[in-house]
Amino acid sequence: MAAALALTMTGCTEGVRERCSGADHEMSCTVTYKKSDSQWSTDLEGDRTHSTAVINGTFTVDSGSGTLILEGADETVEHPISAEEPVEITDLTLAMTSKRDGDERISAVVLRTTTDDVIEGFSAEYTYTTS
């Protein structure tokens, strides 16, 4: 199975654009959204036999602040994010969570942003490799 992404939005997130390329174990993604007043998330998916993901990327916002969260099976990594404090992730290895996607079993790490106020101009360029 080729790796894929599942996008979830809660609250109000406007203007989401997500583009990924790659196959099987290696994905390269760009995600932007105009504005969010609560939470946005996406699953970094791998085949059901995959147990780890290695993530690299740059995450920025034009205004506002919040938290960038990467959630694996046994560890959650949180980074404050703001226009003054972009986030750079280098070789972050997380155990993948096993979950259902319809009738299929997949492995995934959750990438999420949260905010107490409003985030505007979110941009993410990241890669991940699963094994």
Specify the CATH number for the domain of residue 31: 2.60.120
Q: Which domain holds residue 42?
A: 5-130
The total of structural domains in the chain comes to 1
Q: What does the alpha-carbon distance between residue 29 and residue 127 come to, in Å, rounded to a whole number?
A: 6
16: region left, alpha or beta (phi > 0 left; psi from -120 to 50 alpha): beta
What is the residue-level pLDDT of the chain in tens, covering all 131 positions? 334 444 444 457 777 888 999 987 899 999 999 999 888 899 998 888 899 999 999 999 999 999 999 999 999 999 999 999 999 999 999 999 988 777 888 899 999 999 988 999 999 999 999 99
Whole-prediction pTM: 0.85
pLDDT of residue 30: 96
Measure the N-to-C terminal CA separation of the chain; round to a whole number of Å. 13
Rounded Cα distance between 39 and 16, Å, is: 12
